[in-house]
Amino acid sequence: MKLFTAAKTVRENAHAPYSNFKVGAALKTTDGTVFSGCNVENVAYPEGTCAEAGAIAAMVAAGQGGIAEILVMADSEVPITPCGGCRQKIAEFGTPDTLIILASPDAEVGRTTLGALLPGAFVPAHLDAGA
């Protein structure tokens, strides 16, 4: 399934009664498998999770890793980009070249990369250097 269609479908299931801001995310792994997720809010606001986190959790639960591209979809005038925490989560399984596709429910509206959104990411090599 195409990333756009997967994100649009899963976004319908978002649980966003507090923000009323539904987000869908769909990623493609380096071997071509697609996983999707939606935001899941909670009455205890900080316990809510982002759509990207859901897609990444589904990927890991399926025993996979390695994000080649990820599409994030919301219905907003300004195209949304992954939040700071999600950029770091994507970095765990991506590279600076990982493609980030921004979309509204109607169309793809932009493209960027993880490296552009999260320059100087904290990566495992930093832990090695400290050992």
Dihedral sign, CA of 51, 57, 58, 64? positive
Catalytic residue among 47, 52, 69, 77: 52
Residue 79 CA to residue 117 CA, distance in Å, equals 14
Restricted to residues 66-105, the positions that interact with ligand THU (CB under 6 A) are 72, 80, 82-83, 86
Q: Based on the residue annotation, tell me whether 92 is a catalytic residue of this protein.
A: no
Residue 37 CA to residue 12 CA, distance in Å, equals 10
Residue 98 exposed, middle or buried by CB count within 10 Å (0-12, 13-18, 19+)? buried
Nearer to ligand THU, 34 or 72 (CB): 72
Report, in Å, the least distance between residue 37 CB and ligand THU.
8
β-pairing verdict for 34-38 and 23-29: antiparallel
Nearer to ligand THU, 21 or 122 (CB): 21
Assess 52 for contact with ligand THU (CB under 6 A).
yes
Restricted to residues 4-23, the positions that interact with ligand THU (CB under 6 A) are 16, 19, 21, 23
* Count of C-beta atoms within a 10 Å radius of residue 27: 32
What residue ranges bind ligand THU (CB under 6 A)? 16, 19, 21, 23, 39, 41, 48, 50-52, 72, 80, 82-83, 86
Catalytic residues: 52
